Chain A
Amino acid sequence: MAYLERSSPTLKETLLKIYRAEKPIEIDQHFYEFGSIQYHIKCSVLDTNIVYVSTSTLLETQGIVTSKEILSATYEVIKNIAVGVIDIVDPPRLGFQLTLKLHLDNIPRGKEAIKIITRISEIQAIILSSQLKEMLKRLNFQDDSQAMNNNNRPVRIVYHPSEPFYVFRQAEKITAVFPMNFKDNSDVVIAMSFFQELVEVGSQKEMGKAPQCSWSPVPPFQLRGEPVHDLTTNAGFVSFDITSRHVEGKRLDKTVWNLLNFYAYVKYHIKCTRGYIQRRMRKRMDSLVKQRLNNTRFEEESPQKENGACKYVKELVKVQKGKLMMQQRCKDMTRRVKISKFRIRINGCARFRFNQRWISIPKFSSKSSK
């Protein structure tokens, strides 16, 4: 789950590069995406129309579905992305769960090619979603008696290390529980305020069609017996109640994708909030500094004085536009000439310079200290 988008940006970019290349190119690349997803792309100069794409993910569930393998229904979905373009290689490349053989010459030209390549880049999303889809469908069609027989055992799903979540069936609904953990204390606080808003928004009338959302500091009693390290959290437990309405038809795909991306969504929101706070603080600091520089200094002191006398000369020589500015400049010049005239320096009387009290010098710059 690299991004909140379904397609992997790196995979898409690489496939487009191979597809659009005028000369045959040799590619043998491994890359990893956020979480535990890895890809391998291989393209040989000898056979430029064939590209091998292998992928692997942490796909671990405990409960009803204990398999780590990809479901056969998923293979059909992947093949149907582009008929004639995708072949599934059996067995997959060593270390990977799935290897696809892509026939680039069978991809239709034009905009359709980009659509197909984009859909091929979504294979990870398809694999990860398919298992949860099957699970939700099975739980949805399960009778209450069957659920009792299974003792309503929760299914533990791990798509990212240290971020498991649980799904279990209750009367007329399926509940997905997310134990939330954050490293930083400020992240915990921001997340808690977000969860509060989530619960409040979810309880509004306008959001009646969305799954009911709740937060609790302690795990639900259905999770008793689960590993303690999974249930140890610092930001509580967020639960979503999925009804049959949310798993029917096209909504199933959206529901599954939103649930799979919940952790990523929360982390992204916290990151953006921290950036926003930083920007606000910086802006406020700049305004305070400007205010201090403009207001607290005495008026006669100009920053140009610190740079030396030659700056005065440059300022005098500069041609100023406008009569008013000219008048202002003349006044300034007259004042400075008066000041410089009265700095009396007599050769040989240096010892008297430090004690000038016996010479009364008219003051032109008055520093008013009240």
Chain B
Amino acid sequence: MNSEGGVRSFDSFATSLPKGERRNPITHTQAPVTTGTSIIAFEYDGGILMAADMLGSYGSLARYRSVPRLLKVNDKTVIGCMGDYADFQYLQAIIEQMEVDEACKDDGFQTTARSLHSWLTRVLYNKRCKFDPLWTTFVVAGLDQDKPFLGFVDKLGTAYTDPIITTGYASMLATPLIRKAVEDKLKDKNEKLTLAEARKVIEDSLTLMYYRDARASNKYQIAIIPSNGEASIIEEPKTLLGDWSVAHLIKGYE
């Protein structure tokens, strides 16, 4: 289990059958059990900001309310995960072991966001091809030779990069909000958002998600991956309130 090769083989069950009795690997398309909802990430002038709420939903039940869905891989890379939380924990253990192995090599190299994104794509696509997917969508953020890298990989192995990445409901709700803020600033001042402006956009997006996504919660975390060489950081959990005063304006349904 602790050897480098062993930890990263994904079809070990099939190969542990006695010789002469090789069967097709057991293939099931899973149904996800405990799931996380959307992830939001985009570039600002000093690096990348990523955010996720802290809810693990068990179907419609908001069962685990303090579950971290962002993972700091190393000083230059943070990932966020949506979908089945057990599958996320499985990959989390493998990725953390990968970082230990890299540190042990002690050759000055760290896993980069781009290479992690590429590795995740291969893993997820190959599992999908065997009809045994990891029911997860990942957002990978980090620095690639001091330039920001932001990538998306889903359970089918669909992968792409973009300055704004959102998953799930956020792609419908938050992306327009983020695009407007980013493009307006670009048009008016030809600059990217500052950290304070980016935080406001994130909070507005998460608030909108809390209003409109029935599987979202108001407890969230933000991760910052700065491009100036400082270490990436996942901040302490925060809570949103939202503005519900519009409720006073509505009476009845006519």
The answer to whether A and B interact is: no
| Residues of chain A at the chain B interface (Cβ within 8 Å) | none
Q: Which residues of B approach A to under 8 Å, CB–CB?
A: none
